[in-house]
Structure 1
Amino acid sequence: MSQRLIRTLTRFRWPLLALWLVALVAAGVAALPIADRLSGGGWYVPGSGSQQAIAATRAGFADRGASDLTLVVRDERNTATDPDFEQRVRRAVDRVTGDKRLRTVGSYGWTTLSPAARGTFLGKDRRTAITLVGLELDDGTARRVLPEVQKDTEHRFAPEGLRVSLVSAGTLWGEINTLSQRGLEKAELITFPLLLVILLLLYRTVAAAVVSFVVSATAIVFTLGLMSLLARHFELSLFVENAATMIGLGVSVDYSLFIISRYTDELARGSGQEAALVTTLRTSGRTVVFSGLIVILAMASLFLVDLNVIQSIALGIVVVVAFAVLASVAVLPLVLRLLGDRVLWGRLPGRRAPSGERGRRWQRVARQIMRRPVLFLLTAVIAMAALAAPSLSLRTFTPDARIVPASSPVRQGFDAMRREFGPGTASPHQVVITSRTPLTAAPGAAKIPLLRDRLAALPHVTGVNSPLEALRGASPRRPLGALEPAVFAQLPADARATVDHFVSADRRTLVLEVIGDDHASAAVSRALVSSMRSLVRELDAPGLRAVVGGESAEGVDANAAIEDGLPAVILVMLVVIYLLLLVTFRSVLLPVKAILINLLSLGATYGVLVLVFQHSALAGPLGFQEFGYLQNFVPVLLLAILFSLSTDYEVFLLHRIREEFDGGADNTSSVARGMARTAPLISGAALLMVAVFGAFAFTGIMPIQQLGLGLAVAIALDATVIRLVVVPAAMQLMGDWNWWLPGRPARPARTSPVAGEPAVRP
């Protein structure tokens, strides 16, 4: 197959080159609008209480829309007692609500109520006023439009001493998208020159280093182009772009290294260009295909988690790895065939140690470890376990406004609301009650006022916003009876506006807003969601249903979806990896050893992330912000990515060891020689990946920082402690049991160690 492929590439090389370039340009054009098409959503679990709550409030209310925002206006020159304050605030609010880009459906708050009724919409500093605004914009459109409006508003009113912030999920995710784009650009500016330097040191030739980026460019551009087209029809998370680029760069440079290194080695041995490519595809090409298959299958297991943001990222990684494999075994050989010996152009000055000498160094290291396998294995395991210990306190949640810099107007708006109106006002909990019939006649509706009072009495609740106070003024004993048209018409204008904000026009949906005393991701906020859900379950009446929504509930439901899907993900992934390794190495125990080692590495990685991001260890010097939790999709993504990437290195190493063992070498010699042949390439590949992931860790936003740092730490541990210490020590202790398979025929006779290789005691 390799020979036929190379002959086809040779025969049609110029048409294929033209086809690749045209496709690359077309994919690049398709990828240009991807940032505007990706969504900040994807956190709602289908059918969950939080999803039902938001769906029930998107239509049918006087001043709630498909998306909402809170307009926060702070007058730095006047307070509410100054005559100019109201005029200045109203002018800012009218300017924003009148912006045609927002398609405002209504507003409620400081500018819509009379002075006697709007006190709750004025901050403690008497300088900050808020107005709630409903928009016709769907979430995706809001995320694209609101940042532009925020920027224009800031430029318009900041010179006048007015700080105007548009606080909403749309502005937050729009800002996150902007920061994500900036982080991606910074990461690329750092990564490409750094990778070029590393590749030059590895290849020692300019041409080979430059050609390595052929796979990266193909995989990333094709992936972003396809994701951009898919995003027109399906909701894809904005984290797809960063995650796909980061993983795409990492695996692409690795696959390129495997292919180009083998090709140049074959040329150095005197093989012709076509023969060198055939051998390269038959050996390294096979490794790349198998490696990519492992990554794709491991990432595909994440589709078992019923959360769009995780499925989006998994899809992006699956696609970019698939394109990286395709580019490595088709596009890269085509380019190498066109270049021929010119791939060795631009050789760097200086002498590189001969491969035989480098191999003997790695053999000596391996044999030193295998002389005392118990000591080295216990030391490594204890060290990794110590790193993993903090992971026992791992906490996860969805991102909040704190991932945005404090200098951002969006962040300033969130901070102003929490400071002036209470910590929970920026992310209130919602209890949404729906009825099949109007609430005035619904069975069990009399329980709603009691539910409101019981919610207000819960710990960590500072208040409950509802229409019941306004309705009780007209009907103290039966508040919901005041919704009858004849009675409602007699209410004061302020009371009617309040009721219309909390009760739908058809009088079948009612909203209670519960204000907590902490931010949405705090432990007390999560506990409050649980308490609220226990209370609303008691509202059991025919045709009446209550659900709990809001930012905290959304995060709780997302965490639950991940926890529910995690056992299936782990089971499928481990079974797939075990079976692939079983078939590849025809060994029952080696796949078990590989899985246990990967779990050890994963635990250590989790521990480092908990230390840095939860406990703030080294967070300051490293430039990271302490959040008290990990982004909830980071651990499960790390699980799939690290298992697949670590298995790649395991396969590459064990394949060489197995070749030696099948050739008649004893277990010790097989391990030592296998490490000698693979360690330089594995170390180089790991160095490339650490450079890529590290660049994203120090330039991205919080979730990408955590993912990038986790991957960089894991790959560094895998290439050093795991591959250099744990693997040889474990394989030495297992001896011939490494290759045990029931029914295996007797192996060839063992050979004694070659000259120059010291014997190793069992």
Structure 2
Amino acid sequence: AALARGVVARPVIWGGLAAIALLALATPALGLRLGQPPIEAPYDLPVVKTMTQIEQAFPQAPAPAQVVVTGSDVTGPKVAAAIGALRARTSAGGPVRGPVTATSIGGGRAVVVTVQLAGNGQDSASFHALAALRDQDLLATLGKVPGISYAVTGDTASSHDNIQLVHDNTPLVIAVVAALAFVVLLAGFGSVVIPVVSIVLNLLSVAAAYGLITLIFQDGLLQGLLGYTSFGGITWWVPLFMFVLLFGISMDYHVFILSRIREHWTRGSSPREAIVGGIASSAGVVTSAALIMVAVFSIFLTLPLIELKILGIGMGAAVLIDATVVRGVLLPAALSLLGDRAWRLRLRRSGAGSPRPRAAPVTAPAGPAR
């Protein structure tokens, strides 16, 4: 209640400072890079021992790219000549390297061409080599053979395509989630402004979490303290997973707080009184829930895999920021600046814009008749 009173008394100052702080924290996320980390589990785990034994028994450089060629005559002289031309384009120091081998499978219905790529299989050098293979070398060789088709697979191609798929579709996921949230909040609160404010605040909270994990795990800020080695990126599936989970969690107690504020407002309280009363009446539940979630996510920091550590820091910090800075400062500041406009539906419809009921004045009971 004391925090809410201070915020609604000076919403521009409090809200401005909180927004600047979160935007500054979110800034590193502009350089966020998706990638696939190496396995960093402890050596004494059985699965790690088994993988090490396999690598020792069957030593191999990063898994080669596999070009699967299909068509009517994949074992004919034209395809063989194209594979020879592809072999001639490789070099020991270039992005696409030899040896290039071809294996007929399925009774001659397909040919698998293996090509070595530069890098360790998961770094930028390997992805650059994959792009060179797809966009240059294959187009200049197999791409000129009529009647065949080909596709590139392998560990490097799978990782690259997974990362690219998530990268390309993340804006669509964010748009769909935001649109659904807008519709639900519009139906629940009968206001156009409330959904917009809610979505913006949630996105700001998620952006701050992205900036924090970028600073810590991509830039390697706390490697020694948290016991990990930065690979220069963030595990490709973590940011999108964090977004949908954080949006759902934060929207849960966000709606709870808004419902309490609206109850006070519909009973006749002024907008500022409703904000203070609603936050004060819901603070205990929201704070307790946030502390429980932060404690649960913090357990992830004790686990060996770097993606779980990222989730532990990212989710825990995001919930803590969301339940304090966002819901305790930015939300009351925004609602205080909007006043009654926050709760009125801007779209004209039956009954829209009608005045809300005001609390009846309290009067002394009438005395006995004389």
- Which band: TM-score by shorter chain? 0.7 to 0.9
Residue 112 of structure 2, aligned match among 490, 511, 516: 511
Tell me the equivalent position of 2:356.
Answer: 747
Is the Cα contact below 8 Å between 1:656 and 1:677 reproduced in 2? yes
2:111 counterpart letter in structure 1: L
Q: Are residue 404 (structure 1) and residue 41 (structure 2) matched?
A: yes
How far has the Cα of 1:417 moved from its partner? 9.6
How far has the Cα of 1:662 moved from its partner? 0.2
CA distance in structure 2 between the partners assigned to 1:417 and 1:390 by the alignment: 42
Q: Are residue 447 (structure 1) and residue 82 (structure 2) matched?
A: yes
1:748 counterpart letter in structure 2: P
Is the Cα contact below 8 Å between 1:460 and 1:524 reproduced in 2? yes
How far has the Cα of 1:399 moved from its partner? 4.5
CA distance in structure 1 between the partners assigned to 2:322 and 2:17 by the alignment: 15
How far has the Cα of 1:552 moved from its partner? 1.4
Tell me the equivalent position of 1:459.
Answer: 94
Tell me the equivalent position of 1:233.
Answer: none
Q: Are residue 395 (structure 1) and residue 47 (structure 2) matched?
A: no
How far has the Cα of 1:508 moved from its partner? 4.4
Is the Cα contact below 8 Å between 1:665 and 1:751 reproduced in 2? no
Q: Greater CA deviation, 553-562 or 667-676?
A: 553-562
Tell me the equivalent position of 2:338.
Answer: 734
Task: Give the 4+ runs in structure 1 shifted more than 6 A.
Answer: 414-418
> How many residues of Structure 1 are paired with residues of Structure 2 in the alignment?
350
Superposed, 1:119-268 pairs within 5 Å as none
What's the CA shift string for 1:56-95, capped at 9, x where partnerless? xxxxxxxxxxxxxxxxxxxxxxxxxxxxxxxxxxxxxxxx
Tell me the equivalent position of 2:138.
Answer: 536
How far has the Cα of 1:453 moved from its partner? 1.9
Is the Cα contact below 8 Å between 2:301 and 2:312 reproduced in 1? yes
Is the Cα contact below 8 Å between 2:122 and 2:159 reproduced in 1? yes
**SS of corresponding position for 1:745:** coil
Gaps (5+ residues) in structure 2? 347-351, 362-370
CA distance in structure 1 between the partners assigned to 2:235 and 2:118 by the alignment: 22
Tell me the equivalent position of 2:244.
Answer: 640
How far has the Cα of 1:731 moved from its partner? 1.2
Q: Are residue 430 (structure 1) and residue 31 (structure 2) matched?
A: no
**SS of corresponding position for 1:503:** strand
How far has the Cα of 1:663 moved from its partner? 0.3
Distance 1:506 1:674, change over 3 A: same
CA distance in structure 1 between the partners assigned to 2:37 and 2:238 by the alignment: 11
CA distance in structure 2 between the partners assigned to 1:529 and 1:391 by the alignment: 26
2:99 counterpart letter in structure 1: N
What's the CA shift string for 1:248-287, capped at 9, x where partnerless? xxxxxxxxxxxxxxxxxxxxxxxxxxxxxxxxxxxxxxxx
Distance 1:619 1:417, change over 3 A: farther
How far has the Cα of 1:698 moved from its partner? 2.5
Superposed, 1:21-100 pairs within 5 Å as none
Is the Cα contact below 8 Å between 1:609 and 1:710 reproduced in 2? yes
Distance 1:524 1:447, change over 3 A: same
Residue 21 of structure 2, aligned match among 383, 388, 395: 383
Distance 1:415 1:738, change over 3 A: farther
How far has the Cα of 1:670 moved from its partner? 0.2
Is the Cα contact below 8 Å between 2:87 and 2:99 reproduced in 1? no
CA distance in structure 2 between the partners assigned to 1:621 and 1:677 by the alignment: 39
Is the Cα contact below 8 Å between 1:578 and 1:592 reproduced in 2? yes
Tell me the equivalent position of 1:369.
Answer: 7
Is the Cα contact below 8 Å between 1:460 and 1:517 reproduced in 2? yes
CA distance in structure 1 between the partners assigned to 2:54 and 2:42 by the alignment: 11
CA distance in structure 2 between the partners assigned to 1:444 and 1:428 by the alignment: 20
Tell me the equivalent position of 1:584.
Answer: 188
CA distance in structure 2 between the partners assigned to 1:649 and 1:735 by the alignment: 21
Tell me the equivalent position of 2:265.
Answer: 661
Tell me the equivalent position of 1:615.
Answer: 219
Q: Once superposed, what is the RMSD of the aligned Cα atoms? A: 2.5
**SS of corresponding position for 2:229:** coil
CA distance in structure 2 between the partners assigned to 1:707 and 1:665 by the alignment: 41
Is the Cα contact below 8 Å between 1:452 and 1:512 reproduced in 2? no
What's the CA shift string for 1:141-166, capped at 9, x where partnerless? xxxxxxxxxxxxxxxxxxxxxxxxxx
Distance 1:607 1:691, change over 3 A: same
The structure with more radius of gyration: 1
CA distance in structure 1 between the partners assigned to 2:72 and 2:24 by the alignment: 57
CA distance in structure 2 between the partners assigned to 1:454 and 1:751 by the alignment: 87
